[in-house]
């Protein structure tokens, strides 16, 4: 196994860990953090797979996609945090209505 596949597998691990946290936690801030970790996992996979063969230069296309992805992730996170603040001020707690402890 070359280093590229190792890092890609770590990225998949991060993605699944984030998905786990996204499903398990009901607090919205934790969900937003989980989505960010999932995104980081995807970026790690792309960056790692861009240079699979050791003696070749890295493939620039996935790298450019990661830069685009990071910017989109930042703006989505900012929007999600604002939505969370809105939910918290309207309802008094930062969870979705159907996830309040039964």
Which residues would be at the binding site for another protein (CB under 8 A)?
1, 5, 8-9, 12-13, 15-16, 19-20, 23-24, 45, 49-50, 52-53, 56-57, 59-61, 63-65, 67-68, 70-72, 74-76, 78-79, 81-83, 85-86, 89
Cβ nearer to another protein, comparing 97 with 101: 101
Cβ nearer to another protein, comparing 10 with 33: 10
| Least Å from the CB of residue 58 to another protein | 8
Q: Which structure tokens are listed for 1?
A: 């196994």
């Amino acid at each position: 196994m070359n280093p590229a596949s190792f890092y890609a597998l770590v990225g998949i691990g991060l993605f699944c860990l984030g998905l786990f946290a996204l499903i398990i936690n009901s607090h919205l801030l934790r969900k937003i953090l989980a989505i960010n970790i999932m995104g980081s996992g995807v970026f790690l996979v792309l960056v790692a797979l861009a240079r699979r063969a050791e003696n070749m230069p890295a493939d620039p296309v996935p790298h450019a996609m990661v830069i685009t992805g990071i910017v989109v992730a930042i703006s989505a996170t900012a929007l999600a945090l604002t939505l969370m603040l809105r939910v918290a001020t309207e309802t008094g707690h930062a969870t979705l209505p159907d996830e309040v402890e039964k």
